[in-house]
Amino acid sequence: MLLLFESAAGFALFKVLKEGKLKETEDVGADFATLDQAQKMVKLKAFSKFQNTTEALEAAASLVDSKLSKPLKKFLKKNVVDEELAILDKKLGSIVQDKLGIPCIYSNAVLELTRGIRNQLQGLISGLAGADLRPMSLGLSHSLSRYKLKFSPDKVDTMIVQAIGLLDDLDKELNTYAMRVREWYGWHFPEMTKIVNDNIAYAKEDVEQHMKEAAIISMGTEISQEDLMRIRELADQVIDLYAYRGQLFDYLKSRMTAIAPNLTVLVGELVGARLISHAGSLINLAKQPASTVQILGAEKALFRALKTKHETPKYGLIYHASLIGQSSSKFKGKVSRVLAAKCALATRVDALGDSEDAQIGHFLNSISGGLVSVTGQAAAKKKKKKDKQAAPEEPAAAAEPSEAQLQQEEQPKKKKKKEVAAAAAAEDGAEEAPKKKKKKSDAAAADGGASEEQPKKRKKKAAAE
């Protein structure tokens, strides 16, 4: 049985002399206490030394990923014939068995045997000194760590995350400090707030002629020199923070240009940095689909909309990109969707590509810019159509009527007048008839009353007699 051993110096094949000891897992470590005992257990059969660090890194990376590299394949084909192969990685062993037809075994005994060989490696492999093996192991471990982390000193997106976070914090602090300076100094010179709108100019207090005139007639109260000195110290801090913010912004621009040039061309330094910071890293942002990039930063609004069954948000942090700002409000959703798709492509190129230029970013930006112009033209055309439909049509100039037309128009008018007069006469007749009937009834009632009075008088006379 042969044992495959991987080291920083190269691949080694050891012949296991006492195969029965593999069943006794607990006693294997004791058999490698000294070099003589180790030489009784295993014997070096073949050794393939790495020529340089690059070859060692490729071999180590393949072993970490459980892949069969070409150098290892050649080494095993050449030295393993009609024998079993003890190997640490079970997955790699199955690949070797499938591709090369070499029977492989893997167990805890193989692990203990490998540990024993590692303890006596310098003595078991002739010509390999400890002074050479230590720097090899250290260099290979650093190279493998960089390879696994995709490390590059110029492509450290952690610096972008920290810089954009500090920039946002500085903006908040600057705003707070500047408002405090305005309120504090406003007791002494309240008119200056209306004259100077910019916070930094207010802190610098650049005196001009109109400010001098306002200062003469100011309604502010007098303050002591000590109070004025404290206000000036706060104003100096505001000016220093503003200068540091400018330096930090320049640093952020240089980092974004180096790490994500294509994304920077599409959405700018600040929006790109905020997208990377929100995703956690450039790699994490590259893994996100375009639909997620579009609403990145609007997660609360999204879940609220899903919960209340309202419309979901159309954009998040990407809303602050210049392309979306240039588009009309009606097309902002469409432009943000297209821009998010282009940002997803640009981010993957920046994260996984080898090129350091922004050619793809400029190409994608031209496509997105063309879409914005097209949507703007469409919006302008629709607006013109609406304006035309809303505008009242001017009446055409009427032609002068002829005499026949005038006569025809007068005849219906005369007929109408006659009909109105007849209707009025009919109404008057109807009113007079009830009046006559009413008079007759009144007269009859009067006669009836007189006839009633005559019998009454006769009765009275009869009673008197």
Q: What one-character-per-residue DSSP string does 300-358 give?
A: HHHHHHHHHT-PPPS-SGGGGSHHHHHS-GGGHHHHHHHHHHHHHHHHHHHHH----S-
Q: Residue 28 has what pLDDT?
A: 66
CATH T-level assignment (fold) for domain 260-386: Serum Albumin; Chain A, Domain 1 (1.10.246)
Instruction: Give the angle 20-25-27 at the CA atoms, nearest 5°.
Output: 85
Res 386: pLDDT? 65
User: What gap in Å lies between CA 22 and CA 113, rounded to an integer?
Assistant: 8
Q: For residue 73, count CB atoms less than 10 angstroms from its CB and return exposed for 0-12, middle for 13-18, buried for 19 or more.
A: middle
**Which regions in the chain score pLDDT beneath 50?**
393-401, 430-441, 443-453, 455-457, 459-465
Measure the CA–CA gap between 15 and 84, rounded to whole angstroms. 10
**Cα gap 416→119, rounded to integer Å:** 128
Assess if CATH 3.40.640.10 describes domain 154-258.
no
Q: Which of 262, 251, 454 is nearest to 355 (CA)?
A: 262
Helix (H, G, I), strand (E, B), or coil: what is residue 14?
strand
Give me the pLDDT at residue 307, please: 92
The pair phi, psi for residue 104, each rounded to 5°, is -120, 145
Residues 6+ apart with CB under 8 A from 460: none
The angle at the Cα of 168, spanning 163 to 173, to the nearest 5 degrees, equals 120
Nearest to 268 by CA among 282, 246, 253: 253
Could you tell me the two tokens for 96? 């070797």
Alpha carbon 188 to its chain's center: 45
- pLDDT at res. 391: 56
Rounded to whole angstroms, the Cα distance separating 395 from 423 reads 38
Q: Is 128 helix (H, G, I), strand (E, B) or coil?
A: coil
Cα separation values, 105 from 2, 38, 70, 186, 235, Å: 10, 21, 21, 84, 75
- Which residues share a beta bridge with 4? 13
Distance CA(420)–CA(426), nearest Å, equals 10
CA distance 144 to 149: 9
- In angstroms, the CA 394 to CA 227 distance is 72
Look at residue 397 in the predicted model and tell me its pLDDT: 41
List residues bridging with 6 in a β-sheet. Answer: 11
User: Side-chain half-sphere of 456: how many Cα atoms within 13 Å?
Assistant: 5
Q: Which two tokens stand for residue 371?
A: 């879409």
- CATH number, domain 2-149: 3.30.420.220
- d(Cα 87, Cα 91) in Å, to the nearest integer? 10
User: Distance between CA 175 and CA 190 in Å, rounded?
Assistant: 19
pTM of this structure: 0.52
The residues spanned by each domain of the chain are 2-149, 154-258, 260-386
